[in-house]
Structure 1
Amino acid sequence: MQRIKQGDDVIVLVGRDKGRRGKVESILGDRVIVDGINLVKKHAKGNPQMGDPGGIQEKELSIHISNVALFNASLKKGGRIGFRTNDEDQKERFFLSDSSSVDS
């Protein structure tokens, strides 16, 4: 079970987007792509056969998973994640700072 999953609300801990929040779009090994975070401009060559116009396009690049933390809405900041088993013997994630579990 991963500490950060697709669809989680995360906060960026370091870099030029420090303090910004976003939703995890995808996980690529030890890197994550967060919606609206780490935007770069790419120059793309157009392809008229595919109907793809060229020009400058904004694209989201990946961030290392250690540079984001799961956002804790009750504390209004990023939190560390732990694992425990609930009463039905299912593994669940919870915030280490307080005992509330993460809705997965």
Structure 2
Amino acid sequence: MAAKLRKGDKVVVLAGRDKGKRGEITQVIPTEGRAVVQGVNMVTKHKKPTQTGPGGIEQMEAPIALSNLAIEDPKDGSPTRVGFKILDGGRKVRVAKKSGETIDG
């Protein structure tokens, strides 16, 4: 099945403590149904010192469920659902349901 959300997509968080925040997907984990979004779902990680680097307390993004994300509409930036359309050349593209704009090329 084609992926509705991909790395590099601009998304809006629909639910959770970061509801309303916007960011770009940096990593998608399809087996778990989760994605890492830049600046969203920040957690504190305590790192142990190693020979290669110092330890300490580090802020990092944790994965967030794909069901809690919606892609930004290319037209106005509002959250929208994703559909698919076959172009004349037989190429399948993602389409924003709200405006009908193509999302990727």
Superposed displacement of residue 96, structure 1: 1.1
The corresponding residue for 1:74 is 75
Letter in 2 for 1:34: V
Cα RMSD after superposing both structures: 1.1
The corresponding residue for 2:49 is 46
- Picking from 12, 31, 34, the partner of 1:31 is 34
Superposed displacement of residue 87, structure 1: 1.1
**Alpha-carbon distance in 2 for matches of 1:7, 1:76:** 15
> For the Cα contact (< 8 Å) 2:10–2:24, is it kept in 1?
yes
Please identify runs of 4+ aligned residues in structure 1 that moved more than 6 A.
none
**Alpha-carbon distance in 2 for matches of 1:94, 1:56:** 41
Report how many aligned residue pairs link the two structures: 102
Q: Which stretches in structure 1 are left out of the alignment for 5+ residues? A: none
Indicate yes or no: 2:10 matched with 1:6.
no
Superposed displacement of residue 76, structure 1: 2.8
**Deviation string, structure 1 residues 10-48 (Cα, Å, up to 9, x no partner):** 01000111111100001112100001110011111111x
TM-score (norm. length: structure 2) = 0.91
**Deviation string, structure 1 residues 67-92 (Cα, Å, up to 9, x no partner):** 00001142331100000101111101
> For the Cα contact (< 8 Å) 2:12–2:72, is it kept in 1?
yes
Letter in 1 for 2:101: S
**Alpha-carbon distance in 2 for matches of 1:70, 1:60:** 19
> For the Cα contact (< 8 Å) 2:74–2:101, is it kept in 1?
no
**Alpha-carbon distance in 1 for matches of 2:28, 2:68:** 13
